[in-house]
């Protein structure tokens, strides 16, 4: 059967799976036009987006934004592979899957690196970080994930940044799943490179990523890129010198939709208002799930307002695939777990998702508890 347009524009279920996640009808409608990747009309949109992202990251001057094709990880790889010099060394602070992925990229790109692995459910140990930095003078860069999406843990970038200024190392932050949904000022946090993407808290669709960079540092990364396509400096130079042009074909529809997503962020009241909605969503979710007998993986003090990991119920009749199918049938798609030692599933609460949606989800969960 040919899907008609109404069916295309109407989602049969909410994606509580950041990301991709549920977007607004406006964001999806913005994709219904074709654009030329090097025409000025389109390149102007790119420039507006770049400037807006820089402003979202900080009111301070000295930062710039570069967009990169691909999913979020492509931008993480582009950033690491471009900004850590051949004679540099990266220290990765990891407490989950996305921290481990940073180390995996460094390994693959032959970037000298060390990992401080704190374990999936533990916060960063700042004393251990401090000690490592004092002992290993070769470390030139540090990388940390802000919201570790695999568990929902929110890491204290401020504490890491405060260390960094004492030791003069560049700080790279994977804020893929938090930027736009949690207020932050990269300049105050001493962050030199912030990596994020359109399809998490900014509520766009996937297809590119971006890096907000301290320009004085990015400018000095010449000759370090380990890849042609993922050369962040080359891409930045092209966007700067040719006013919003990407080096290679860009995801035009995705970019146009993202411009609309940024307009809608502003209409909502900016990052503070969005953060308040996400906090409300997450609070309703965790309270409601606990009432139904579920336990969160993390204590509330480490929990982000983005995504929550729940332990599998101990009942022997519980089977995630069936629970997932029951919920999907009722209009909600949730996420499987990503913690190695514990069986969890995850529920995201970001996107075009509101407290009433979470209440409806809780009702659906209640109806889907076939084992209880
Ligand atoms: C989503 C996400 C990424 C990027 O994942 P992709 O699948 O490549 O888009 C990277 N880091 C974190 C913390 C994320 O949540």
Average pLDDT score over residue span 47-55: 98
What 3-state DSSP class applies to 299? coil
What 3-state DSSP class applies to 261? helix
* Nearest atom in ligand 1 to 209's CA: 9
Q: What's residue 4's pLDDT?
A: 52
Ligand 1 pocket residue status of 90, Cβ below 6 Å: no
**Residue 262 CA neighbour count, 13 Å, CB half:** 21
Helix axes 40-57, 252-268, angle to 10 degrees: 40
Ligand 1 pocket residue status of 150, Cβ below 6 Å: no
The Cα–Cα gap between 266 and 289 comes to 31
Burial of 246: CB neighbours in 10 Å, binned 0-12, 13-18, 19+: buried
* Nearest atom in ligand 1 to 149's CA: 15
Nearest alpha carbon to residue 246 among 86, 38, 94, 28: 38
Average pLDDT score over residue span 60-81: 98
Q: What's residue 1's pLDDT?
A: 44
pTM of the predicted model as reported, rounded to 2 decimal places: 0.96
Q: What's residue 8's pLDDT?
A: 54
Ligand 1 pocket residue status of 196, Cβ below 6 Å: no
Q: At 232, give phi and psi (nearest 5°).
A: -65, -35
Q: pLDDT: is 111 or 5 the higher one? A: 111
Nearest alpha carbon to residue 254 among 69, 76, 18, 51: 69
Domains in the chain: ranges and CATH? 33-266 (3.40.640.10), 270-368 (3.90.1150.10)
110: tokens are: 């032959």
Ligand 1 pocket residue status of 145, Cβ below 6 Å: yes
* CB 178 within 8 Å of CB 191: no
Q: pLDDT for 21-48, tens place per residue?
A: 999 999 999 999 999 988 999 999 999 9
Q: pLDDT for 315-334, tens place per residue?
A: 999 999 999 999 999 999 99
């Amino acid at each position: 059967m040919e899907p008609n347009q109404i069916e295309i524009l109407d989602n049969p279920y909410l994606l509580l799976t950041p990301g991709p996640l549920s977007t607004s009808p406006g964001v999806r409608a913005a994709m219904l036009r074709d654009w030329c990747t090097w025409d000025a009309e389109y390149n102007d949109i790119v420039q507006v987006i770049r400037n807006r992202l820089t402003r979202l990251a900080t009111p301070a001057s000295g930062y710039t934004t570069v967009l990169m094709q691909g999913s979020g990880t492509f931008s993480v790889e582009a950033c690491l592979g471009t900004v850590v010099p051949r004679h540099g060394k990266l220290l990765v602070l990891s407490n989950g899957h996305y921290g481990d992925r940073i180390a995996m990229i460094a390994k693959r790109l032959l970037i000298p690196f060390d990992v401080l692995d704190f374990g999936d459910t533990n916060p960063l140990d700042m004393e251990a970080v401090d000690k490592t930095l004092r002992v290993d003078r070769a470390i030139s860069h540090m990388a940390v994930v802000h919201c570790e999406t695999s568990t929902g843990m929110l890491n204290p970038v401020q504490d890491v940044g405060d260390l960094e200024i004492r030791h003069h190392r560049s700080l790279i932050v994977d804020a893929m799943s938090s930027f736009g949904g949690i207020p932050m000022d990269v300049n105050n946090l001493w962050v030199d490179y912030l990596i994020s993407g359109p399809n998490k808290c900014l509520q766009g669709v996937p297809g590119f990523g971006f890096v907000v960079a301290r320009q004085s540092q990015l400018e000095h990364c010449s000759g370090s890129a380990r890849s042609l396509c993922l050369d962040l400096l080359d891409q930045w130079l092209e966007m700067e010198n040719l006013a919003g042009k990407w080096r290679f074909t860009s995801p035009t529809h995705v970019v146009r939709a993202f411009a609309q997503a940024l307009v809608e962020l502003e209409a909502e009241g900016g990052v503070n208002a969005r953060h308040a909605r996400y906090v409300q969503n997450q609070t309703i979710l965790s309270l409601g799930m606990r009432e139904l007998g579920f336990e969160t993986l993390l204590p509330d003090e480490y929990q982000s307002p983005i995504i929550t990991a729940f332990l599998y119920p101990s009942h022997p009749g519980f089977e995630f695939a069936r629970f997932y199918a029951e919920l999907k049938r009722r209009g909600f798609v949730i996420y499987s777990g990503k913690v190695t030692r514990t069986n969890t599933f995850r529920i995201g609460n970001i996107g075009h998702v509101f407290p009433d949606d979470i209440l409806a989800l809780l009702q659906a969960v209640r109806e889907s508890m076939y084992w209880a």
